[in-house]
Structure 1
Amino acid sequence: MGMSVTISAARAQDAEKILKLQYLCYQGEAELHGDYTIEPLTQTLDELRADLEGGHCLVARLGDEVVASVRGRIDASGTATIGKLMVHPRMRRHGLGGRLLDAIETHFAQDPAARRFQLSAGGRKDGDTRLYRSRGYAPVVSGDTRLDLLTLEKPATAGTFVASA
C-alpha cells in the first residue's frame, strides 16, 4: 500500500522536523562550496521558529514525515522572496520541488501586494536553475559571489501556476 505526498501549511510543531530536513538537504551545498558555515547549517531552532512566524512555510508530508519544505515572505516593496526549497534526497527527481514552488507562488499570488517572486539559487547546481527557469524565472542580479548565488525573479502574475480542484 503506497502513501501519497500531501502539501500543507507548516505548523509550529513542524519546526524541529524542518530544521533536521534543512540540515540534511544543505550538506551537499556546503560540500560543493567547501563551506559548512552556510546559514542553513548554522540556523538555530529558535531562529527557524522566528523565520516561520514572520512568513509563510509549506511542507510536504509522506504520512507523518516532513519530506520537503519551502518558505517565503512578502516585503514592503511587493517582492515575495521564496527560499529554502528543499526535498529529502530520497524524494528528489519526482516533481516535488516543482509542486512546492507552484504552491507557494499560488499562496503569494493571492496577496494583492505581491508584485514579483524572487529567489536565489546556487549557480553551480543546474537542476535548481533549470527548475526555476522552467517556471519563468530569469536572472536579475548576481548574489553572494562566495557561494556563487544567482538571484532570479519573475512578475507575480506571469505564468503563476494555479492548481484547480
Structure 2
Amino acid sequence: MNHIKTAVIEDASEILALQKIAYKSEAEAAGDYTIQPMTQTLEGLENEFNRYLVLKYIHNDKIIGSVRANAADGTCRISKLMVHPDFQNKGIGKVLMKEIESKFINKRYELFTGSQSLKNISFYEKLGYQAFKTEKLDREETVFVFMEKRNVKRA
C-alpha cells in the first residue's frame, strides 16, 4: 500500500539513509561527494524537523520518498525532494510535490537544484516552475538554478 504521511523525528534515520541513496547520482553528476545532502548528519536532519514540514511516501512499510518545506514572507521553500532510485519515474515525485504544495497556501513556491541536473530542471518545469536565477552557494562548489512557481489557485 502506498501513501503519503507527515514524517516524525523517529523517521529521520530512515529518511537520511534514503537521502544518501537518492542524492548519490547528484553527487556523481557534480563530481562532488561533499554536497550537503551527502554530508548531512542525523542530528542536522533531526533539527530540520523543528523548521520544516517533512513528508514521507511509504511503500510496503518503507519510506521510498520524501520532501521538506517551510514558509516565510509569503514564500514556501521546498527542499530535498527525493525518491529511491528503484522507484523513480513512477509519478512519486510529482505526487509528493503536489502534496507539499497543498500544505502551504502561499502566492509563491521556490526551490533550487543543481544547474547540471537537467532531468530535475525539466521535471520542475513540467510542474510549472520557472528558473529565475543561478547562484553558487558558499556551502559547496555546485552552481544552483533557483526556480519559482506562483500559486494561481483562486479562493
- Within the candidate set 136, 142, 149, 1:147 is matched to 142
Q: Which consecutive residues of structure 1, in runs of 5 or more, have no partner in the other structure?
A: 161-165
Instruction: Kindly indicate which of the two structures has a greater share of residues assigned to strand.
Output: 2
Pair 1:20 & 2:17 matched: yes
Conserved in 2, the CA contact under 8 Å of 1:136 and 1:158? no
- Which segments of structure 1 move beyond 3 Å, counting only runs of 4 or more? none
Q: Percent identity?
A: 34
Conserved in 2, the CA contact under 8 Å of 1:120 and 1:143? no
In structure 1, the partner of 2:86 is: 90
Give TM-score scaled by structure 2 length: 0.91
Partner deviation per Cα, 1:102-161 (whole Å, 9 max, x = no partner)? 00000012xxxx331000012222221122111111111112273131000011x2269x
State the superposition RMSD in angstroms: 1.6
- Within the candidate set 152, 158, 165, 2:152 is matched to 158
- For 1:159 and 1:37, locate their aligned partners in 2 and report how far apart those are by CA, in whole Å: 39
Partner deviation per Cα, 1:26-55 (whole Å, 9 max, x = no partner)? 111111111111111111111101112211
Aligned length: 151
- For 1:25 and 1:78, locate their aligned partners in 2 and report how far apart those are by CA, in whole Å: 29
SS at match of 1:53: coil
